[in-house]
Amino acid sequence: MRRLWTNFLIFLLLAAPAAAPAGSANYPPKLLTGKDSGTTLEIRPGERFTLDLRNPASGGFAEISPVFDPGVIRLVSKDLMPPLWTPEPRCGDFGRLVLVFEAVAAGNTDLTINVGRPRDKTKVALPFMKIAVKVRD
């Protein structure tokens, strides 16, 4: 099953540049995971990157809209992928959160994925992942 999931992600990454709007550059896709939190990503305008994260619902949290400068990058797609089917269900597996972004213009922005507990009265956002994005011409 793990191989099936890997093949699906590879297909998704290869399909993303093909679906790029006319006139945008076709760059190799970049895949980031939760282990890349705290790093800096350098890309060029028109280039896309994908965040593949575990679904934060596994801890009773809900994902809150990503925070970033829309003048530098834009959110292309956001998908909640179901957990992989296995003969015996894995406890706490709520699937994956897959976000695809595209660089719009030169500049710098922090991309922060926040989570929160839906029933929390204080509505405090907790950082789930944060990366620095530098878009260079």
Using one digit for the tens of pLDDT, what is the confidence trace for 20-61?
443 345 566 699 998 999 999 999 999 999 999 887 766 677
Q: Give the pLDDT confidence score for residue 65 in this predicted structure.
A: 80
CATH of range 2-135; options 2.60.40.2020, 3.40.50.10090, 3.30.590.10, 3.40.50.720: 2.60.40.2020
Closest C-alpha to 2, from 111, 115, 90: 90
Q: Where are the domains of the chain?
A: 2-135
Residues above pLDDT 90, as percent of the chain: 41
92 pLDDT exceeds 80? no
Average pLDDT over residues 104-108: 97
pLDDT band at 94 (very low <50, low <70, confident <90, very high): confident
Sorted by sequence, the CB contacts under 8 Å of residue 131 that are 6+ apart come out as 32, 36, 37, 38, 39, 40, 41, 110, 111
Average pLDDT over residues 87-92: 63
Residues above pLDDT 70, as percent of the chain: 66
Average pLDDT over residues 81-103: 77
